[in-house]
Amino acid sequence: MGKGGTEEDEDQASLALFETKEARFRGAYRLFASTVVVGICLIWVYRLSHLPRSAHDQGRWAWIGLFLADVCFSLFWIFTQSVRCNVVYRYPFKDRLSHRYEEKLPGVDILVCTADPKMEPPIMVINTVLSAMSYNYPPEKLSVYLSDDGGSELTFYAVLEASTFSKHWIPFCKKFRVEPRSPAPYFANHSAASNSQHDLSINIGPEWLAIKKLYEEMKNRIDSIVETGMIPKKIRHQHKGFSEWNSNATKQDHQSIVQIMIDGRDKNAVDIDGGRLPMVVYMAREKRPQWPHNFKAGALNALLRVSAKISNAPFILNLDCDMYANDADAVREALCFFMDERKGNEIAFVQHPQSFDNITKNDIYASSCSVVNKFELSGMGGYEAALYCGTGCFHRRESLCGKVYSKDYRGEWNKGSKVLANCSHEKDTQWGKKMGLIYGCPVEDIVTGLTIQCRDIALIQHKRWSEGMFQIFFSKYCPFIYGRGKIKLGAQMGYCMFLLWAPISLPALYYVIVPPLCLLRGIPLFPQVKSLWFLPFAYVFLARNSCSIAEALCSGDTLKAWWNFQRIWVIRRTTSYFFGFIDTITGTLGLSQTTFALTDKVMTQDVSKRYDQEIIEFGSSSVMFTVMATLAMLNLFSLIGGITKAIMDLEYFKSLDQLIVQIILVVLLVMLNIPVYQALFTRRDKARIPSSVLFNSILLASLACLVPFI
């Protein structure tokens, strides 16, 4: 028996902790993509061979512009195919990890960032913290750090409450194998009866009601104090940490605050069942008006230094404050990759895909990322690369410091924790350059992931993302320059698929503006339907959209969700990405500075109701909505004008066979904009498009239709 057991242990030790499988039908997909490339080449040939010869020919410049737009779209599509042709999936073996390393699992530091208690409610933040504390992992090896860039005593109070509640919540989660381990979504989607039915051997009812009562009481206390905006004197005297705040402290001007709420190193720090508790640390780094704070990247770098002084775990997970752990074994799954004996030493970070539990059936804002996760991010993995998405990502601590600087990195931490969170600590150091998260652009996650590997509707949000990613493309971190010889060409192209969101807005705008105006004036830009040249246009259009539909359905989306994605695709590229492009260019020329826009995570009851009904939220008179509405009205006017001219003008009617493709294009754009027209004309709720935007859009679209076209 003993010998047999030894052989079995040896067999277990030789097994990999994860496996990689190629996606099915990769060869067939590559053949399909090749046929689309042939179609694209034929379109280019048509554009060049049918270019109006004379400079005085009507529509010559429109034709040239359309050719350039086709080239841009085609090249961008080729970048997207670099990952789709190389999709792989990786599967961890948690049981093998437990069998081999259960008694010597490494420590893990979990870093959570928040910035404003009004836009990121403290109750939401502590739900994330509680879910991180409750992982199915030895609690004495878990440390949770919260960076509060708002320096708010309201958030500190919420963490204090969560620290007490965790003594009840963690043993409850482990006893009943709760999923998810964030209280709010758990109680919203489960009841005592549903849990008892799930496992008839366990009577969860009484304990479920008790823990829910504790949570609701805590939530009410936190919400009540947040609403008043003041901490009662009685509570202030209960914890010395409140003495860190004085009357002069503001969000942008305050000292460093580091408070250990639960000391996981103390064996007496236990839950109600006597089990060990994880470390919980609150940090508000120093903020001074005269010192740049580098937004989220600066906060994470301060957390890296402080966590190294306190727990110094070899692995780090960072989470956004509105992202909770929906899989209790996520830490173990990530460690399967890091601790694999064969390939683990080659892995710097592991990115978990983001999923969302509040997506409507048809995903009206196209925010599920299901296709991105299943095909695009998995395709990056085919080149032994990964995209660091900013949340849900595990890193080796040393990978964030840079191997060259690891010695100095450890040496710096013979200082107090508060000093490591000071404004001046990074002066004349490599922090933000080659250590920690990279500074200088609003998407610190993407550029940090790229540098690590090379070292070996939310329109505002999408504007920030597209602007930041285009800044990377324009910087020394451009994948084709910085990644040359360090990561594979396919991975470089995969990065550019995201970095070029901003400039791809230009051909998108061209297609939304010029063909409709040419339709109104009877200028053909596409071949006749009866011409053989029509075939490559038809094939590329049908093939690409059929493939897109298939990807959406395979990813669990509905057909209507795919259609909604096409709408949001057009809106983002003609608004968010375009303004991101403008800001990047003006910033490069020194005419503007990069700003960080914090997105509001508070949803009112009216907004929630409309969201559940799948009604798009507008309600703003911003310039983005003016552009969106103007483009929608321009296409509507062009379609109505074209129909009118076909009825009234015999010559125009005779030329309709040359305008069929443009008519189809404009009809599709009008159909995509139906929710915009509803928000302009028929809706009466608070989320409709304001009348000022309606007036401006009609005026601008009318002028565009009336001004002579060159």
Residues annotated as catalytic (active site), given as ranges:
149, 445
Annotation-wise, does 296 bind a ligand?
yes
Q: Which residue has the tokens 């704070």?
A: 293
Annotation-wise, does 340 bind a ligand?
no
Q: Please say whether the beta carbons of 78 and 500 come within 8 A.
A: no
Measured CA to CA, the distance from residue 370 to residue 492 in angstroms comes to 22
CA 137, 138, 141, 142 torsion: positive or negative?
positive
Measured CA to CA, the distance from residue 501 to residue 463 in angstroms comes to 10
Annotation-wise, does 320 bind a ligand?
yes
Question: What DSSP designation does 358 have?
Answer: S
Q: Is 488 exposed, middle or buried (0-12, 13-18, 19+ CB in 10 A)?
A: middle
Q: Please say whether the beta carbons of 204 and 196 come within 8 A.
A: yes
Measured CA to CA, the distance from residue 645 to residue 679 in angstroms comes to 28
Task: Give 43-50 contacts, CB < 8 A, sequence gap 24+.
Answer: 43/70, 43/74, 43/536, 43/537, 43/540, 44/70, 44/71, 44/74, 46/527, 46/533, 46/536, 46/537, 50/527, 50/533
Measured CA to CA, the distance from residue 258 to residue 252 in angstroms comes to 17
Measured CA to CA, the distance from residue 665 to residue 680 in angstroms comes to 22
Q: Please say whether the beta carbons of 244 and 257 come within 8 A.
A: yes
- How open is the CA angle 626-632-636, to the nearest 5 degrees? 140
Annotation-wise, does 341 bind a ligand?
no
Measured CA to CA, the distance from residue 364 to residue 614 in angstroms comes to 6
Instruction: Count the Cβ atoms, other than its own, within 10 Å of residue 686.
Output: 12
Measured CA to CA, the distance from residue 422 to residue 293 in angstroms comes to 10
DSSP-based three-state secondary structure for 385? coil
Q: Please say whether the beta carbons of 222 and 117 come within 8 A.
A: no
Q: What are the structure tokens assigned to 169, written together? A: 């919540």
Residues of each annotated binding site for UDP-alpha-D-glucose: 120, 149
